[in-house]
């Protein structure tokens, strides 16, 4: 049996990013061969990554890449289990590499994008960091003029496409989208089922009770109009100048709204409630009283 030196353990740690004890154990099993230890760890890392794959990853980052001519943008969401990992350089480097490849290949299908090298890198990162990491979604936005905005904590990203005008104006409107989160671009874009839900809520309000049908209808019309104005991008007061609507800003720049996309990290993901005391107790074999 070859002697396992501190230098060997350090080399394996530097090359894999794994913990000292795991590296030492791998070296013992590989009879002191660093290369053989790496090969065995590669075989087992897939299993370890798979074990972590069932854990909820609802933190992470949203990133954007815009073409030099401001006509195409890609938004990417990559998830981790904790915000601490989402701020890790290794995680951010991986997320940016995924975005670079998506942009270069013009790919929005996550499964196709992750085939091969990127998936191997994801599994290696899971092994190194010890958390489940998932590439959740990629969205492409295209238009004559595209502007993008990412909130400083990388949790919210927005892209706006205009029919004409200045990319900086499109970027300002993307900032508004990130901050205000409109449901639709224009009032006529509101889905019929959303309108019906809102009408049901309005009808159930106490001040509607006992009123004649024609009065209810009139009140309903006014409140629906207000609902649409509050939730439609072009009708909202612009965050940088509340005296002007977003629609007026777009019109003043000789343009029309083409589309917008807003991604917020973890939206729609049901977070698992974790009892950390129970986990620690279970790991210690003591159970909870």
Residues 33-54: pLDDT tens digits?
A: 888 887 777 666 654 655 666 6
- CA pair distance 192, 195, nearest whole angstrom: 5
Read off the CATH number of the domain in which 114 is found: 3.30.479.20
Is the same domain home to 165 and 123?
yes
Is the same domain home to 41 and 142?
no
Is the same domain home to 173 and 63?
yes
| Residue 168 located in a structural domain | yes
Average of per-residue pLDDT across 180-190: 95
Q: CA separation (Å) from 13 to 29, 88, 128, 133, 257?
A: 16, 18, 10, 21, 52
Q: Which domain holds residue 165?
A: 59-190+232-264
Is the same domain home to 65 and 44?
no
* Per-residue b or e along 248-270, where b marks 16 or more CB atoms closer than 10 Å to that residue's CB: ebbeebebbbbebbbbebbeeee
Higher pLDDT, 128 or 155: 155
Show Cβ contacts of residue 270 under 8 Å, excluding neighbours closer than 6 positions.
Answer: 56
pLDDT score, position 282: 56
Is the model's pLDDT at 187 over the cut of 70? Answer: yes
- CA pair distance 93, 109, nearest whole angstrom: 20
Is the same domain home to 99 and 242?
yes
Is the same domain home to 126 and 39?
no
For the stretch 207-249, pLDDT in tens is 878 888 888 888 888 899 999 999 999 999 999 999 999 999 9
Is the same domain home to 45 and 115?
no
Is the same domain home to 152 and 211?
no
Task: Give, for 202, the enclosing helix (H) or strand (E).
Answer: helix 192-203
- CA pair distance 171, 154, nearest whole angstrom: 16
| Residue 289 located in a structural domain | no
| Residue 276 located in a structural domain | no
The tokens 């009808």 sit on which residue? 203
Query: Band of the pLDDT at 155, cuts 50, 70, 90?
Result: very high
The tokens 């915000």 sit on which residue? 83
pTM assigned to the model? 0.74
| Residue 120 located in a structural domain | yes
Query: Band of the pLDDT at 184, cuts 50, 70, 90?
Result: very high
Q: How many CB atoms lie within 10 A of CB 67?
A: 12
Is the same domain home to 199 and 138?
no
| Residue 28 located in a structural domain | yes
Is the same domain home to 178 and 40?
no
pLDDT score, position 128: 85
Read off the CATH number of the domain in which 26 is found: 1.10.8.10
Show Cβ contacts of residue 244 under 8 Å, excluding neighbours closer than 6 positions.
Answer: 237, 238
Is the same domain home to 41 and 111?
no
CB 59 within 8 A of CB 90: no
The secondary structure of residue 79, as a DSSP letter, is: E
CB 65 within 8 A of CB 108: no
| Residue 271 located in a structural domain | no
Query: Band of the pLDDT at 280, cuts 50, 70, 90?
Result: low
**Of the given ranges (19-33, 123-137, 171-185), which has the lowest mean pLDDT?**
19-33
Is the model's pLDDT at 275 over the cut of 60? Answer: no
- CA pair distance 78, 98, nearest whole angstrom: 9
Is the same domain home to 175 and 93?
yes
């Amino acid at each position: 049996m070859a002697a396992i030196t501190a230098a060997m353990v350090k080399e394996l740690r530097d090359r894999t990013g794994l913990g000292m004890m795991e590296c030492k154990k791998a070296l013992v099993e590989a009879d002191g061969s660093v290369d053989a230890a790496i090969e065995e760890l590669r075989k087992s890392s897939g299993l370890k990554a798979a074990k972590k794959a069932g854990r909820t990853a609802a933190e992470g980052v949203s990133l954007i890449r815009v073409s030099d001519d401001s006509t195409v943008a890609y938004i990417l969401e990559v998830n981790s289990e904790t915000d601490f990992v989402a701020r890790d350089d290794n995680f951010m480097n991986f997320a940016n590499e995924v975005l670079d490849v998506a942009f270069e290949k013009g790919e929005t299908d996550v499964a196709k994008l992750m085939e091969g090298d990127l998936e191997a890198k994801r599994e290696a990162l899971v092994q190194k960091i010890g958390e489940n990491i998932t590439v959740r979604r990629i969205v492409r936005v295209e238009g004559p003029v595209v502007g993008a905005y990412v909130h400083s904590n990388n949790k919210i990203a927005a892209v706006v496409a205009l029919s004409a005008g200045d990319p900086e104006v499109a970027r300002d409107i993307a900032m508004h989208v990130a901050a205000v989160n409109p449901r639709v671009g224009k009032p006529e874009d509101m889905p019929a089922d959303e309108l019906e839900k809102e009408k049901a809520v309005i009808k159930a309000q106490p001040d509607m009770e006992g009123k004649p049908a024609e009065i209810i209808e009139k009140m309903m019309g006014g409140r629906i109009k207000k609902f649409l104005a509050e939730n439609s991008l072009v009708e909202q007061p612009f965050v940088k100048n509340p005296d002007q609507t977003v629609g007026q800003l777009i019109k003043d720049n000789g343009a029309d709204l083409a589309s917008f996309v807003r991604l917020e990290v973890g939206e729609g993901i049901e977070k698992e409630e974790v009892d950390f005391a129970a986990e620690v107790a279970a790991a210690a074999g003591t159970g909870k009283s």
